[in-house]
Structure 1
């Protein structure tokens, strides 16, 4: 979403700053941050509490189970989790970001989901769900447009309320150059209105 929605404006405002972005797992990103191989880390995950890192920006993100209207044979959009997981699921890869949060939360009830499709692009998963391919668990900013157009509905699962945060972090011992400070200030003012496969990013 950073590149698709905001890069043109950033480049126009700061033509002298060069960005290099890459994606990786949370563990790999923080390894690189600790070894000074990257300047900033952007995560969409559990809230990170660690005195070694300074939070440049953070925001709590909502996520819901979603399906196409009429896909589930229930008149109510409130669905017990034990019934919901019997339906076909389309999810991001196991161990990544909000998928991991979902799996961990389900494990508290001794439950698990075995998806019929695992794929890295949240956009594509959202599209497939609107076509009636199954159920998914996605951040609200991914599904907002489809929800407003009536192609998706959000499901209420009373037992299920995981917390998801977006955070921009850097190491406390990192020298913050003027260019890095500019990037922090610019991107800390943005909220994700669109996403791609990347839930974890380094800059």
Structure 2
């Protein structure tokens, strides 16, 4: 097919120029080579495509029909190549990012802004979900990359850690008496606890850590939003397990207080993940670079 495509390109050029010699100049070929290409195509199609005259050539009826289709097809190929070039140069296209609400609000927004400022013609599509849901979206091709809570144990995914975060417990005025000394985990669970819902990856991480210490938790409230965790703690409904780095506004303003533990929960990471088996698009590559360069 590639060889015939070359013949069709010669055919279209001759059809436009109505001359073998003019077509040869445009194609940077010799006139005999152009003539030979047309003869070969006519032989393969078993059809005469041009009427040869001393003043040049004209298309036969069959040649006119073929020219109409082939000219359109070659133009479409040119347009397709231009579009590929635009995608490579990031002057058009789409970037689909999967991210949870909390990470989107407290971490990702500056990177989305920086990417949009650099590549305003790239359409951004944001899909929200839990870490488990985002990994599923990656595997189904519904998002290009996902920014989510680690750890993730999935051999199909490439992981790039971007930010260390710390899980901690916070409380409102009612529980300030607990702040006089660090608490043990056993002492902590005697209080009403506020946690993310079970499907949250950050909830599983903290719960697994506490289970490793022989501590089972039975939260008073299980919520789907980090902001709600903070607000429930602020109105003294219990002690909330939150991400410290995303709670600094409440802590710095004195709206909430950090409950110190005798054993701090080990830090974890937030990062970017994508499929190992699929090369990143130019837009995805640039977005990951922006995140890595701003660390």
Smaller-chain TM-score range? Answer: 0.7 to 0.9
Aligned to 1:164: 268
Name the CA distance, whole Å, in 2 between partners of 1:8 and 1:67: 33
In structure 2, distance between residues paired with 1:2 and 1:105? 25
Q: Decide whether the 8 Å contact of 2:167 with 2:206 is kept in 1.
A: no
Distance 1:49 1:69, change over 3 A: same
Q: Hey, what's the Cα distance between the residues in 1 that align with 2:123 and 2:285?
A: 13
Q: How many residue pairs get matched?
A: 190
Q: 1:49-93, CA deviations, whole angstroms, 9 ceiling, x for partnerless residues? A: 666433344222112111124515335240111111111112211
What is residue 209 of structure 2 aligned with on the other side?
A: 105
Report the Cα distance in structure 1 between the residues aligned to 2:249 and 2:193, rounded to whole angstroms.
Answer: 20
RMSD: 2.6
Q: Matched residue of 1:100: which SS?
A: helix
SS of the residue corresponding to residue 165 of structure 1 reads strand
Higher CA-based Rg: 2
In structure 1, the partner of 2:231 is 127
Alpha carbons of structure 1 residues 82 and 19: separation in structure 2 relative to 1, 3 Å: same
User: SS where residue 175 of structure 2 aligns?
Assistant: coil
- What's the CA shift string for 1:22-43, capped at 9, x where partnerless? 2334334333333434211211
Distance 1:95 1:72, change over 3 A: farther
1:138 to partner: Cα distance: 0.7
Name the residue aligned to 1:177: 281
Determine which of 160, 169, 184 is the counterpart of 1:65.
169
| Change in CA separation of 1:3 and 1:183 when aligned onto 2, cut-off 3 Å | farther
**Matches of 1:17 and 1:57 in 2, distance apart?**
25
TM-score scaled by structure 1? 0.79
- Residues in 1 aligned to 2:104 and 2:178: alpha-carbon distance in whole angstroms: 37
Higher helix share: 2
Trace 1:126-145 onto structure 2 (pairs within 5 A): 126-145=230-249
